[in-house]
Amino acid sequence: MNLAKLLARDDLDPALAGVEIAGLTADSRAVADGFAFFAIPGHAGDGLSYVTDAKARGAVVVIAQRAADCALPLVVVPDVRAALAHAAARFYPRQPQTIVAVTGTSGKTSVVAFLRQIWAAAGHEAASLGTVGIVDSKGAHYGALTTPGPVELHKILDDLAGRGVTHLAMEASSLGIDQRRLDGVRLTAAGFTNFSRDHLDHHRDMEEYFAAKMRLFDTLLQPGQTAVVDADSDVAARVSSVCAARGLTIFSVGAKGQAIALKAARPHALATSLDLACGGAAFNVELPLAGAFQTANALVAAGLAIAAGDAPAGVFAALDHLAGAPGRLELAGARDGAPVFVDYAHKPDALEKILATLRPLAKGRLIVVFGCGGDRDKGKRPLMGEIAARGADMVFVTDDNPRSEEPAAIRAEILAGARSAAGAADIIEIADRADAIGRAVAALRAGDVLVVAGKGHETGQIVGDRIFPFCDREVVENALREQGL
Ligand SMILES: CC(=O)N[C@H]1[C@@H](OP(=O)(O)OP(=O)(O)OC[C@H]2O[C@@H](n3ccc(=O)[nH]c3=O)[C@H](O)[C@@H]2O)O[C@H](CO)[C@@H](O)[C@@H]1O[C@H](C)C(=O)N[C@@H](C)C(=O)N[C@H](CCC(=O)O)C(=O)O
Ligand SMILES: Nc1ncnc2c1ncn2[C@@H]1O[C@H](COP(=O)(O)OP(=O)(O)OP(=O)(O)O)[C@@H](O)[C@H]1O
Ligand SMILES: N[C@H](CCC[C@H](N)C(=O)O)C(=O)O
Ligand SMILES: [Mg+2]
């Protein structure tokens, strides 16, 4: 493809316009012969300072947001991240026919996993893409980011379409939306789950974080398309007004929902019976998942399937067979009938919800093991400490990816919050996560419930710049085995 086509520009110098482009990237280290190099002004550096490196590796042109003296011909664009995404969409042109994006602070991974299962049950060739990687009918491939960078994303879309995938459910992280990673993706509909504190290490404040999420609805979705909104979210009214202003069709779901109304939810053991109303008809669902939050996620997924064209009866029938996403309230074993769950709650609202979900299951004590990640929002640490001390009877504070920070200092911030909470919870600090899990498993008695929170599906513990293999589920299983259970 030549440069004029790649950038959709008919005003380039003719000599430059005709240059054949062999590939594109925003990382000089990934440049190969004949590549276009997109120079992004980032947080740590400016791509323009890597032009010499890009040229040495074979780049033939630079695309940037400002003119600069540099070693290669330069094309100026108003928004280089958007230009990269749209160019990637042209370079890798195939996309699944139906692509749905899901945003919200919590529940994205669960919703896309549910939607993939609903679509598969309807006979569609379906895939999901997000925090746990790419999952399709042939298996799973782990990726590093929730929403991949635009070049990788468009390669994935092209590849999935080439392999016959017609339906894709993808997670849209606020960073991904903000950094234009989804620009150029041909969306059919989008979903919104909820909004609470997260990523305040990246967004300046909650308003900026909210605005980043809203870009999916006020910019990326086109007028006339559908937004599925969890009507029970605190911010549902604000989201709906953003959608209305864009001319989107609003499909609201939940107890306050109109398109799918949740009339009753009866939790029992690890499942929930639901009475639903949709399009004037009544439906009963036996959702094989515990927790009001999983019901909310399942309804957003059902709404998206209906918004993308499937008939409600088949969609609701599929909810009877949903499996949870890996590491999301996943049962990892039991001791004397006391269940041990692994969950990905690593933010205050999620921790609060998971403890509230498990509380009714605990005839005895509710025990939690958790920590907070290093190099991430410090403000959430005391909040999570307080939530754990209020919501559980026994709290093991341990390490969770300390990264470049001093682990003891992170634990101290959590402990300060935990100890400030009025309550009778036992608070125990154990640095080593495997020891903490082992001690918690050893403490379990019949009637208790244990949740190991924060790492979910993760397979490593990041300490400094090293990643040590670590899987909460395996550690729980080993502890149960070693303790002869
Ligand atoms: C914090 C963050 O959002 N970082 C993203 C951002 O990087 P940056 O602005 O810091 O880039 P920079 O280091 O200043 O460099 C500027 C530019 O120079 C380039 N460069 C740099 C060095 C070099 O030798 N040559 C070169 O060309 C870089 O590739 C970049 O394009 O822009 C880069 C290019 O688009 C992204 O790859 C990078 O994501 C990094 C990999 C990342 O870890 N992001 C995480 C935090 C993330 O996005 N997470 C979300 C949310 C997860 C969730 O909610 O679960 C996700 O979607 O996964
Ligand atoms: N609808 C919800 N409301 C509140 N908490 C939820 C909801 N859904 C999931 N959670 C909690 O958040 C955790 C993460 O869920 P999930 O992975 O589905 O969300 P996510 O939005 O993809 O999160 P992340 O941005 O961390 O990838 C779960 O393990 C659970 O503790
Ligand atoms: N995508 C999130 C996941 C955090 C999970 C938790 N285990 C941690 O490391 O803080 C992040 O990187 O902030
Ligand atoms: Mg996710």
Per-residue pLDDT of the chain (485 residues; tens, 9 = 90+): 999 999 999 999 999 999 999 999 999 999 999 999 999 999 889 999 999 999 999 999 999 999 999 999 999 999 999 999 999 999 999 999 999 999 999 999 999 999 999 999 999 999 999 999 999 998 888 888 999 999 999 999 999 999 999 999 999 999 999 999 999 999 999 999 999 877 777 778 888 889 999 999 999 999 999 999 999 999 999 999 999 999 999 999 999 999 999 999 999 888 999 999 999 999 999 999 988 999 999 999 999 999 999 999 999 999 999 999 999 999 999 999 999 999 999 999 999 999 999 999 999 999 999 999 999 999 999 999 999 999 999 999 999 999 999 999 999 999 999 999 877 799 999 999 999 999 999 999 999 999 999 999 999 999 999 999 999 999 999 999 998 75
Give the residue from 120, 152, 157, 154 showing the smallest Cα distance to 136. 120
Ligand 1 pocket residue status of 47, Cβ below 6 Å: yes
Ligand 3 pocket residue status of 455, Cβ below 6 Å: yes
User: How far apart (Å, rounded) are the C-alpha atoms in residues 82 and 182?
Assistant: 9
Q: Is 293 helix (H, G, I), strand (E, B) or coil?
A: helix
Ligand 2 pocket residue status of 106, Cβ below 6 Å: yes
Ligand 1 pocket residue status of 422, Cβ below 6 Å: no
Which of 147, 253, 344 most suits a substitution to test ligand 2, by most atoms within 8 Å of the C-beta? Answer: 344
DSSP string, 236-259: HHHHHHHHHHTTPEEEEEETT-SS
Q: Is 463 exposed, middle or buried (0-12, 13-18, 19+ CB in 10 A)?
A: middle
Alpha-carbon torsion (365, 366, 367, 371), positive or negative: negative
Ligand 1 pocket residue status of 130, Cβ below 6 Å: no
CA dihedral 462, 147, 476, 338 (to 10 degrees): 140
Q: What are phi and psi of 196, to 5 degrees?
A: -155, 180
Which residue, judged by its Cα, is nearest atom 42 of ligand 1? Answer: 145
Determine the atom of ligand 1 nearest the C-alpha atom of 131.
55
**237 contacts: CB under 8 Å, gap ≥ 6:** none
Is 0.90 exceeded by the ipTM? Answer: yes
User: How far apart (Å, rounded) are the C-alpha atoms in residues 345 and 293?
Assistant: 12
User: How far apart (Å, rounded) are the C-alpha atoms in residues 156 and 460?
Assistant: 24
Q: Is 181 annotated to bind ligand?
A: yes
**336 contacts: CB under 8 Å, gap ≥ 6:** 444, 445, 446, 485
